[in-house]
Amino acid sequence: MDAASVRLAELLRAGLPADAVLTDPDITRSYGHDMASFCEAGTPAVVVLPRTVEEVQHVMRTATELRVPVVPQGARTGLSGAANAEDGWIVLSLVRMDAVLEIDPVDRIAVVEPGVVNAVLSRAVDEHGLYYPPDPSSWEECTIGGNIGTASGGLCCVKYGVTAEYVLGLDVVLADGRLLHTGRRTAKGVAGYDLTRLFVGSEGSLGVVVRAVLALKPRPPAQLVLAAEFTSAAAACDAVCRIMAGGHVPSLLELMDRTTIRAVNDMAQMGLPETTEALLLCAFDTADPAADLAAVGALCSAAGATQVVPAEDRAESELLLQARRLSLVALEAVKGTTMIDDVCVPRSQLGALLEGTARIAEKFDLTIGVCAHAGDGNTHPTVCFDASDAEESRRARESFDEIMALGLELGGTITGEHGVGVLKKEWLARELGPVSLDLHRGIKSVFDPLGILNPGKVF
């Protein structure tokens, strides 16, 4: 450790328990990154693991005093490098602040610390007959603080929306250590600018969330799933459009392409139909899900589905969802490494995006599997490549970029739910344009005039 780092650790230890300040480089390096590919990461000088708001304030005051960059972290399951650190930084891990402070069935809110794991909260509220919808694939590991930082989505968004819609109020430690309260505990409120939403998805660049008031829903009935097979991705996308134009409100509407189906079968022998080009999974958690599935099944058939199979019960439904949840891991097994894109287009453009992605895969001679939150037009084209092959890695990166360009052309966004981080910051500039970028910089400087909060991320 250099002298600066020694002094930094010393000052941090003055306001934190001994076990909450880690400086062993082997350990700090392991905290240096999230799960994104192609994003540089260094060796943080210190990892701090505070348990209280006051300890977080101490960390930020120290960082301000010494002008040391800080990256707030949850479970580091992010896919854009937003939680990556550079050499000499402070990693501020919130995982020890993991209390569920309050669950109120009348006000339908939960008050939580940022380190609570998504699944832990989900189970806790379920015991009160309540439901916290946002369910990113990593929900068994990822934290609510991380979900807020990256504005996470999940499978349920088509009906229930994303994390942003469930954050009512926040306590945030600012760059200089001051504590800010935003938002409210009430169902409605319009007092002042919406600072709460400004923090959601800001990837730790504006402040450190230390407490959140979350909105909850009543627990819906268990969902019933239908699977529909199509001989082309275009037909499956047509079915998605018919379902949504028909006024249906599925609790889930997912698409897996042939590459994804095969990858899942190879990994888990799930017996998915390999002859099909695209599989749609549609679910309802309504009072009469079988009736809703029947109506949707008819629309799928009209769009050219060759098979429409409603699950008979909850167990069958779970099996189908299991297959979908395995998709990304299964695609990773294809060539060892993946780059998971996150392009979201208006759902009317979903067919065009899938067709274009297939063209791009062919052009670059790559395997690109697509699974999608089809009802939201949010696709995850997943480029499979061998990271030890430099030439193939280059093609992977280029195809990834072309898919984003295509998404923008189709009126979409470069990120539906994974965020910008390091991975897409050049692309963010392209999506936002200079006027918006200028305002982004202005806002950043209001909250973090010294630029110590996760610098170099987002934009």
DSSP assignment string, 114-171: TT-BHHHHHHHHHTTTEE-----TTTTT-BHHHHHHHT---TTHHHH--GGGGEEEEE
Of 200, 211, 177, the closest CA to residue 98 belongs to 211
CB of 98 vs a copy of itself, minimal distance in Å: 24
Q: At closest approach, how far in Å is the CB of 369 from a copy of itself?
A: 20
Q: How far apart are CA 151 and CA 204, in angstroms?
A: 11
Taking the complex as a whole, how short is the minimal distance between the CB of residue 458 and a copy of itself, in angstroms?
A: 7
Nearer to a copy of itself, 224 or 366 (CB): 224
CB of 302 to a copy of itself, least distance (A): 15
Residue 242 CB, shortest distance to a copy of itself, in Å, is: 9
3-state secondary structure of 202: coil
**Which CB, 389 or 431, lies closer to a copy of itself?**
431
d(C-alpha 407, C-alpha 379), whole Å:
10
Instruction: For a copy of itself, give the closer residue by CB, 81 or 375.
Output: 375
Query: Sign of the CA dihedral 358, 362, 364, 369?
Result: positive
Q: Please tell me what DSSP assigns to residue 267.
A: H
Q: Output 181 or 363, the one with its CB closest to a copy of itself.
A: 181
Q: In a 3-state reduction of DSSP, which class is residue 286?
A: coil
The two structure tokens encoding residue 459: 């934009």
Distance in Å, CB of 107 to a copy of itself, minimum = 4
**Strand (E) or helix (H) holding 13:** helix 3-13
**Cα–Cα distance, 155 to 209 (Å, whole number):** 25
The H or E element that residue 338 is part of is strand 337-340
Q: What is the smallest separation between the CB atom of 199 and a copy of itself, expressed in angstroms? A: 9
Cβ at position 163, least distance to a copy of itself in Å:
9
**How many angstroms separate the most distant Cα atoms in the chain?**
71
Please report how close the Cβ of residue 301 comes to a copy of itself at its closest, in angstroms.
19
Q: Which is nearer to a copy of itself, 105 or 336 (CB)?
A: 105
- Which positions ≥6 away from 281 have C-beta within 8 Å? 225, 226, 227, 252, 253, 254, 255, 256, 320, 321, 324
CA–CA distance, 352 with 190 (Å, rounded to integer): 39
Q: Let me know: does 84 contact 72? Beta carbons within 8 Å.
A: no
Measured from the CB atom, is 200 or 361 closer to a copy of itself?
Answer: 200
Of 45 and 235, the one with the shorter C-beta distance to a copy of itself is 235
Give the separation between CA 381 and CA 379, rounded to whole angstroms. 6
Residues 268 and 326 sit within 8 Å (Cβ to Cβ): yes
Least distance between a copy of itself and beta carbon 424 (Å): 8
Residue 193, number of CB atoms within 10 A of its CB: 9
User: Angle CA(165)–CA(184)–CA(48) in degrees, nearest 5?
Assistant: 80
CB of 290 to a copy of itself, least distance (A): 13
**Is the Cβ of residue 254 or residue 392 nearer to a copy of itself in the bound state?**
254
Look up residue 346 and give its two tokens: 């208006």
Give whichever of 96 and 197 is closer to a copy of itself, judged by the CB atom: 197
CA atoms within 13 A on the CB side of 410: 27
Nearer to a copy of itself, 164 or 329 (CB): 164
Nearer to a copy of itself, 88 or 304 (CB): 304
